[in-house]
Structure formats: C-alpha cells, structure tokens
C-alpha cells in the first residue's frame, strides 16, 4: 500500500487571489460564451442533418424547429454550465384521430420517429450524429474560445490590480 505524501507551497497568495478574481468572470461570461459558440456548431450540424431527412412536400421543417437553450436548472443546482439542444415542441405526437397541422412553422413531433426509428422503419439519426461526427471541431472551438476568455479576464484583473 502506498504512503500518502503531503506538501505545502507558500507564496502563492497573489496567484490564488488572481484566480479567485477571474473565476467568477470565466464561469459567468467567458465560459458561457465559449460553450454557446461550441453548441452553435452542434445546432448547425443538426440543422444540416435535419434538412436531409425533412419532407419538402409539407410546410413543416424539423431544421427550423431545432433550438439552443441555456440550461438554467443545471446551473442553479450544480453551478455547471450547460446548454440544451433539441427540437421545439418536444415529442408530443397527436392523438389518434387528431388533425395534424402541416403549415409552415408547425410542430414537428415526428422528428423522434426519424431519429430513433420504429419497429417498421430504420433510424435516420441527425441529432446524435450532429455531435458525434463533429466532436473534435466542437471541442476545439470551445477550448480556443475559452482560452481567449481567460486571456481577457487576466488582462482585466491586471488592470484592476494596477488601478
């Protein structure tokens, strides 16, 4: 069994102070902005995929109903940043006998049948592949934008310290 190793570093008070100053800014502004830009790439890829499976003969468009929303509940509960990407109007299918609205900008609850398939129809995933096929591009965007936000926060912290 390994023995525990403990150590103490002294003289890091200024560094810890700077980190505390920029942590709020990064979490509230820079992190959220960076995550939004990365999530926007996923939305764009999902819209492209949805256009491939949309039926052009109807006015309804799954791609038009794909939305990006801030996940405030996650942030309030855990303090973690998060965005939700999904199709508006959720998965509420009309009941048997109800008239289905097919006008432009109408709800598209059939998106989940296309995404996950049924026992009689194979799946044509466009939402899952929007992230899975482009994960490196999305990750790189988040990292580069977050680095820029860190640099800006450090510059602001230095200006605040000087004044």
Give the residue ranges of DSSP H helices in the chain.
13-25, 31-53, 62-65, 72-78, 111-116, 127-132, 135-162
* Tokens coding 21: 């100053």
**What pLDDT does 111 receive?**
84
Q: How far is CA 115 from CA 53, 100, 141, 159, in A?
A: 9, 19, 26, 50
Residue 1 pLDDT exceeds 80: no
**Domain coordinates in residue numbering, the chain:** 36-134
Whole-number Å distance between alpha carbons of 90 and 112: 9
- The pLDDT tens digits of the residues spanning 82-137 come to 899 988 876 677 778 777 777 667 778 888 888 888 899 998 989 888 988 998 89
Contact 88, 67 (CB under 8 A): yes
Radius of gyration of the chain, Cα coordinates, nearest whole angstrom: 23
**What pLDDT does 6 receive?**
57
């Amino acid at each position: 069994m390994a023995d525990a190793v403990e150590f103490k570093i002294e003289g890091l008070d200024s560094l810890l102070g700077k980190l505390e100053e920029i942590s709020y800014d990064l979490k509230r502004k820079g992190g959220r902005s960076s995550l939004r830009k990365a999530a926007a790439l996923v939305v764009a890829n999902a819209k492209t995929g949805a256009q491939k499976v949309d039926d052009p003969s109807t006015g309804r468009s799954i791609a038009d109903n794909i939305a990006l929303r801030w996940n405030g509940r996650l942030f309030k509960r855990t303090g973690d940043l998060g965005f939700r990407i999904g199709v508006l109007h959720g998965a509420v299918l009309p009941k048997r006998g109800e008239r289905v609205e097919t006008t432009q900008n109408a709800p598209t609850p059939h998106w989940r049948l296309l995404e996950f398939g049924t026992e009689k129809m194979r799946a044509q995933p466009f939402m899952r592949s929007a992230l899975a096929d482009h994960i490196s591009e999305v990750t790189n965007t988040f990292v580069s934008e977050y680095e820029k936000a860190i640099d800006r926060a450090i510059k602001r912290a230095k200006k605040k310290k000087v004044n």
